[in-house]
Chain A
Amino acid sequence: MREAGNAHKLIDFKLMDSQKTAVLKATNINKYFTEPVRFQVLKDISFEVQKGEFLSIIGKSGCGKSTLLYILSTMDTSYDGTLEVNGQPLTGRSQDQLATFRNEHLGFVFQFHFLLPEFSVLQNVMLPGLKLGKFPTREVEERAYQKLRLVDMHEHALKPSSKLSGGQQQRVAIARALINEPTIIMGDEPTGNLDKANSEMVFDIFREISRTNGQTIITVTHDPDFAAGGDRIIEMSDGKIISHGYEAKI
């Protein structure tokens, strides 16, 4: 009995341990806008995100949550403080190094889908995979089909992306974000432009990949249902985190 209990504890411990691996660590992030006047958008932001976590950042418009997301995405490099993803410090790296890093470790879903209109659905999904260059074209194509099947868009693979509806484009954008098996998938209002049915579909996909693949999801959203379905909610106001979301869960 005791031994079994110990074993159980051990498993629990391991589970806890794997959950405790921080994939993203932001420390003392400050950011200023200088136009039109100097203004502090982010004030001393520090937080961690665990592996496999489905995190939503909420807050009123202008509270700095999108700005924070773009800093986390490594695209915005003009900030103070340090950012670490997957244990790698990213602050102070060159734009090209960061692009390579994004390609391999980060996936993006934007509010306005942002597919390349001249390319087919399949090509859109394949591009970041081809850029990574880890697999031959044939295999990238196979993987792209697999991701499209995950978002139920495989039947439209050869259509030009401009011929799709908004919800369909957003699902393709998710498939594109997943193509290189990134550690973190970031969403900037991924459901902001979608109707309820499509929003739910997008949410389900996110929930699914976070649970089964152990991929981390960080989204900025206005949608309370979307945020509530995740693991944790960070609430921001006036450039500060007012709730880290641990309290609510307890």
Chain B
Amino acid sequence: MNLKIAFNIAQTHLLTKKKQTMVAMLGVTFGIAMFIVMISFMQGVNQFLEDSALDASPHVRIYKQITSDRPSIIETINPDGLNVVHHQKPKQELARIKNGLVIARNIEQQPEVLGVSPQVSTQVFFNVGSVPVPGTLAGVDVMREEKLYRLSQRMKSGTIEDLQSNSNGVILGRLLARKLNLKVGDKVNVTSSTGGTALLRVVGVFSFGIQTVDDARGYVNQAKVQELIQKDANYITDLHIKMKDPMQAIPFGQQLARQYDYKVEDWATANQAILAGEKIRGVMTFVVSFTLLVVAGFGIYNIMNMNVMNKIKDIAILKATGFGGKDVIAIFMIQSIIIGFLGAILGVVIGFSLSYILSITPFDAGDFLAIDTFPVKFDLKYYILGVLFGVITTLLAGYFPSKRAAKIDPVEILRG
């Protein structure tokens, strides 16, 4: 088998039928361009949602869960008896994490942990005129919060240092501030569920770009919340942990759950809806891309088949003059590969262009998400995958017609 002649013949065949070659190529091009746009966009959405979820929520959160589903005393003592306990109330207990600050210090010393922020959070009402607006106050050490969530970059107005220097200060979420009609410098009265009240001064407004956070949360100093709910300075309700690698959060969370008798929640559990959406989009992308490539493959198959039928006389002559079955397969396979490869390259270019246009197209998601344009992920991997898919599809689509060409009996054709 001599690949150089096979290549020359294949090249001549392609160049003499430029139109047909172009049509076959465009089939691949379209399939791959769409594949790239689809996968870039879908992965862009996935990444965007995951990033905003990961950014705004702790990788691992430790808190005390107050539940009422504890077994009644009589059931523990007399498990086999006929016990009827109706409407058992939860035990009165505090939502505190005992020794929270010590635990935080211990966790912070682990090498895979980026930072720990102990918090006291409580439900409050913001009183605006006579209307109480519900929300959450998170009592934090703002510098730790900065380390975990890069809070300073999310400030719409004011600075985080202002909170540190003002013991009555509060940083409000953007949507909450708008709802309450508050700006930096304004004062707001809050009432806790236990009845305590405090007058807070707005020192800043932040936005995470996530509605559920921006609409309800306010950051204050830890001591202020402890004072508001009349608890001591060691009263901690939540530990927020950020890992250096988010993927480490799941095993690390399991380890913490064994270590401490508190509820440990990792980001994957907290954001199950986002991860489920990601899975569905993944399957959708795969199905649509696969369909596109199969359609392109059938296009090439048809054209190659036609090509073989048109060239049946030439194949007979080549065979008569000493070209073997393998040479004939090589001639037609090379044509398929060239069509596939050029089509794939063109597809990559068009796919990139379309993705780029999509990525600069304005997109208004309202208050739900902070986003200006469609999220598109540019990753070399998808382009390589596209080319690979394209070439493999054309190889398969070209193989069967080539095989048929190799089986042509020259005697039948030459005798006429």
Seen from chain A, the residues whose Cβ lies within 8 Å of a Cβ on chain B are: 66, 70, 73, 75-76, 95-96, 99-104, 108, 110-112, 114-119, 123, 127-128, 130-133, 176, 180, 188
Contacts and interface: CB of A to CB of B under 8 A. Distances in A.
Contact of B317 (A99, A114, A132, A133): A114
A131 B322 contact: yes
Interface string B293-336: 00000000000000000000110111111111111000000000
Nearest to B407: A95
A70 B319 CA distance: 13
A96 B325 contact: yes
Contact of A75 (B4, B313, B319, B323): B319
Contact of A114 (B4, B313, B326): B313
Q: Which of B2, B13, B321, B414 has the most CB of A within 10 A?
A: B321
A117 B317 CA distance: 11
B413 to A, nearest CB: 9
A144 to B, nearest CB: 13
B13 A75 contact: no
B16 to A, nearest CB: 4
Interface residues of B, number: 26
A127 to B, nearest CB: 7
A74 to B, nearest CB: 10
Contact of A96 (B13, B16, B324, B411): B324
B410 interface: yes
A118 B411 contact: no
B87 interface: no
Nearest to B13: A118
| A-B pairs with lowest CB-CB distance, top 8 | A103-B322, A96-B324, A99-B324, A118-B16, A128-B321, A102-B322, A130-B5, A70-B411
Contacts of B414: 70, 75, 110, 114, 188
Contact of A131 (B314, B321, B411, B415): B321
A228 B13 CA distance: 42
Contacts of A132: 322
B325 A76 contact: no
Contacts of A133: 2
Interface in B1-58: 2, 4-5, 9, 12-13, 16
B319 A99 contact: yes
Nearest to B17: A118
Interface string B333-349: 00000000000000000
A115 B320 CA distance: 12
Q: Which of B12, B326, B411 has the most CB of A within 10 A?
A: B411
12 contacts: A70-B414, A75-B320, A96-B325, A99-B322, A99-B323, A102-B320, A114-B316, A114-B317, A118-B16, A131-B2, A131-B323, A132-B322
A115 B12 CA distance: 14
B411 A95 contact: no
Nearest to B316: A114
Contacts of B325: 95-96, 99
Nearest to B14: A118
Interface in B182-235: none
B16 A108 contact: no
Interface of B: 2, 4-5, 9, 12-13, 16, 313-314, 316-327, 410-411, 414-416
B324 A100 contact: yes
A76 B411 contact: yes
A22 to B, nearest CB: 23
A176 B162 CA distance: 93
Contacts of B415: 66, 70, 188
A73 B314 contact: no
A100 B4 CA distance: 17
Contacts of A101: 322
A62 B2 CA distance: 39
Given A99-B322, A118-B13, 4 more contacts: A114-B320, A127-B321, A130-B4, A131-B323
Contacts of B324: 95-96, 99-100
Contacts of A76: 411
A116 B314 contact: yes
Given A114-B313, A131-B322, A75 B410 contact: yes
Contacts of A103: 321-323
A111 B318 CA distance: 16
Q: Which of B314, B322, B414 has the most CB of A within 10 A?
A: B322
Nearest to A126: B5
Nearest to A120: B12
A176 B320 CA distance: 12
Nearest to A173: B317
Contacts of B9: 127
A127 B13 CA distance: 14
Contacts of A104: 322
B70 to A, nearest CB: 82
Given A70-B415, A114-B313, A130-B5, A119 B323 contact: no
Contacts of A128: 321-322
Nearest to B413: A114
Nearest to A118: B16
A188 B321 CA distance: 14
A135 to B, nearest CB: 13
Given A96-B324, A102-B321, A131 B5 contact: yes
B12 A118 contact: yes
Contacts of A115: 317
A73 B320 contact: yes
A218 to B, nearest CB: 15
